Structure 1
């Protein structure tokens, strides 16, 4: 093999390696950028007004968040496959029965699952609060929810006062509902 052939193969290898390294470096930089800025991308935070939305429940009834003005809203994002979601649902149902007549509503938003799975889950756990269908995860994305379960507390004026990711105990749910209960004068 001539030295010219060896040199051209070496040069080609160097170009390919440089191209691969450049692509990998760009991918790492993009990933870091995306991770560091993900919190800035339309994530709803405590202190901001809750973005309005309309979703249909399992009975075909539309629920618009702004129509609950004057009530506290326990807005919960969940999935049937999510074990922590499943464990907190009975607690939510218990507290719903206590607080629904005190001006606190639960809106449980299922993210992207078929109706038959949601319906089976509701029946299994004998849930009474409205379960809304976010079929394309539009509301989940609008609210910047990444991990399930996620709960946002919306006060009677429509402001988000707390964002909580992860499983809730019954005591924590009760404290959260108490915190968004309308005062007598409102």
Structure 2
């Protein structure tokens, strides 16, 4: 009887004590798991923030990082091959409404500036060739559209929201970074800015 009373005060009856202890262990495991997940999330957030700063966002005054991408016709485009020309480097997606709105303006100004030494390189980020071709056909786009299917170039430039456009002068230096959609007048003024 005394043994049973001791068991009772330690956590319930002899049979019930094991159940109470198992529940406590399970709760402790769940709490430790939740705490571990929360700690991992905080560590990941801190790491992401620090490495983004280390990755250095490309900004005005920087040399534009070189890259090679393939266009919809299978031709390769290396940014450094455009040295001596102004480059209107536009990162975009077919799902992006501001991107869609500015594309006809870019096409119009491309026709006006291409013979004056200003080129457009439109970098589609992460979409299928089918989607991009349909979009280009819908808007009758004639400037080079290259696909960054693995998002490598997007990450090397630390591109955030789409559309983002980098204005690159004939020396390969970034003159300005535009992180929003543009109207036709703005596109024209930026192309004039990077004209050789």
- For residues 147 and 163 of structure 1, the distance between their equivalents in structure 2, rounded to whole angstroms, comes to 12
Q: Distance in 2 between matches of 1:15 and 1:122?
A: 55
What is the TM-score with the length of structure 1 in the denominator?
A: 0.87
SS at match of 1:51: coil
Decide which of 31, 39, 54 is 2:45's aligned counterpart.
31
Which deviates the most, 88-97 or 160-169?
160-169
Question: Is 1:129–2:143 an aligned residue pair?
Answer: yes
Give SS of 1:126's match.
Answer: coil
Gaps of 5+ in 1: none
Return the alpha-carbon distance in structure 1 between the equivalents of residues 194 and 107 of structure 2.
Answer: 17
Q: Larger RCO: Structure 1 or Structure 2 (Cα < 8 Å, ≥ 6 residues apart)?
A: 1
Measure, in 2, the Cα distance between the counterparts of 1:118 and 1:11: 55
User: Alpha-carbon deviation of 1:18?
Assistant: 4.1
State the distance in 2 between where 1:11 and 1:100 align: 71
Task: Please state whether the residue corresponding to 2:62 is helix, strand or coil.
Answer: coil
The count of residues paired between Structure 1 and Structure 2 equals: 182
Match of 1:97 in 2: 111
CA drift of 1:17 comes to 2.0
Which residue pairs with 2:59 in the alignment?
Answer: 45
Q: Following TM superposition, by how much is the alpha carbon of 1:23 offset from its aligned partner in structure 2, in angstroms?
A: 3.1
Q: 1:150 aligns with which of 158, 164, 170?
A: 164
Note closer, same or farther for the CA distance 1:117–1:179 as it changes in structure 2 (3 Å cut): same
For the aligned residues, what is the CA RMSD? 2.1
What runs of 5+ residues in structure 2 fail to find an aligned partner? 1-6, 12-16
Bigger radius of gyration: 2
In 2: Cα distance, 1:108 partner to 1:163 partner: 14
CA distance in 2, matches of 1:48, 1:118: 29
Q: Which moved more, 1:15-24 or 1:104-113?
A: 15-24
Between 128-137 and 69-78, the greater mean CA deviation after superposition: 128-137
Q: Distance in 2 between matches of 1:181 and 1:90?
A: 20
Give the structure-2-normalised TM-score. 0.83
Quickly say closer, same or farther: Cα 1:144–1:8, change in 2 above 3 A.
Answer: same
TM-superposed CA distance for 1:29, in Å, is: 3.6
Look up the match of 1:181: 195
The equivalent of 2:3 in structure 1 is none
Q: Which structure: greater helix fraction?
A: 2
